[in-house]
């Protein structure tokens, strides 16, 4: 199973710095770049695109609800028209910097609450697909891999959009294949050996273990390590070495 390493990047804002993009970028395959609604700004987007191109990293748009104060981790009540529009707005903004630098947006990975809401609500999922399809049908949509993968694929085909299935290296899963909420203390994995074990099992056997030891067999095109994890750089180096 060929699995590519992705990371949420470009999440600084103005004089406030988030993450360690310059050191992390050389080790990843795919960069999910913030587009200004939960983090980032025009200069940060420009610099992030240039950095990704330098290391031949595939660029993805990382749109969010309009929630700078909450870092996009809070649900903002929006109509489906608004969801389509905010995704299209952010995708277009990042694409402008890509075009200016001779590269392109290859996929969309929603951020935070928008990502979780999209996975729970079919209408939000369709609104995101609609936004991407209206912009460029060659752009893929990343989704959280789980028990409903075939249903998501069927819906995406209606919009002529292909999906990328994502598994998290540093977040715990419940027995039903959903993620443990960040509101819970055990949501994030902090031990290196646990991360390595997860990646090895996923690569060699196609499964990860839930927080209670349940085997979850998940389709995986990409595995994510969060850049805001305090051990992000170490984890990313380990995951990269384990995958390749």
Q: pLDDT per residue over 210-224, tens digit each?
A: 999 999 999 999 999
How much of the chain exceeds pLDDT 90, in percent?
Answer: 81
Q: For 144-160, how does the pLDDT look when each residue is reduced to its tens digit (9 = 90+)? A: 999 899 999 999 999 99
Hey, how many other C-beta atoms are within 10 angstroms of the C-beta on 169? 26
Band of residue 1 on the pLDDT scale cut at 50, 70, 90:
low
- DSSP-assigned letter for residue 70: T
Q: How far apart are CA 190 and CA 161, in angstroms?
A: 35
The token pair at 81 is 């028209």
The domains located in the chain, with CATH, are: 4-171+219-225 (3.20.20.370)
Q: Is the dihedral of CA 134, 138, 142, 145 positive or negative?
A: positive
Q: Rounded to an integer, what distance in angstroms lies between the CA atom of residue 203 and that of residue 39?
A: 32
Task: Centre a 10 Å sphere on the Cβ of residue 102 and count the other Cβ atoms it contains.
Answer: 8
Residue with tokens 């981790």: 73
Mean pLDDT of the chain: 94
Are the C-beta atoms of residues 133 and 127 closer than 8 Å to each other? no
């Amino acid at each position: 199973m060929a699995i590519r390493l992705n990371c949420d990047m470009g999440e600084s804002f103005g004089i406030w710095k988030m993450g360690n993009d310059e050191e992390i970028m050389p080790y990843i395959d795919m960069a999910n770049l913030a587009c200004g609604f939960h983090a980032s700004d025009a200069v940060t987007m420009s610099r992030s695109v240039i950095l990704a191109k330098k290391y031949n990293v595939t660029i993805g748009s990382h749109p969010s609800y309009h929630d700078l104060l909450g870092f996009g981790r809070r649900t903002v009540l929006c109509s489906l028209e608004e969801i389509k529009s905010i995704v299209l707005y952010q995708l277009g903004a990042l694409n402008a910097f890509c075009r200016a630098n001779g590269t392109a947006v290859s996929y969309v990975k929603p951020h935070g609450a928008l990502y979780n809401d999209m996975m729970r609500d079919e209408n939000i999922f369709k609104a995101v697909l609609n936004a991407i399809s209206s912009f460029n049908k060659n752009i893929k949509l990343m989704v959280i891999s789980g028990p409903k993968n075939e249903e998501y694929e069927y819906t995406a085909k209606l919009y002529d959009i292909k999906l990328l299935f994502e598994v998290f290296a540093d977040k715990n899963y419940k027995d039903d294949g959903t993620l443990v909420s960040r509101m819970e203390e055990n949501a994030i994995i902090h031990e290196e050996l646990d991360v390595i074990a997860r990646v090895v099992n996923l690569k060699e056997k196609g499964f990860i273990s839930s927080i209670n030891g349940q085997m979850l067999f998940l389709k995986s095109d990409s595995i994510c390590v969060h850049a805001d994890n305090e051990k992000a750089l170490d984890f990313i180096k380990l995951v990269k070495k384990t995958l390749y």
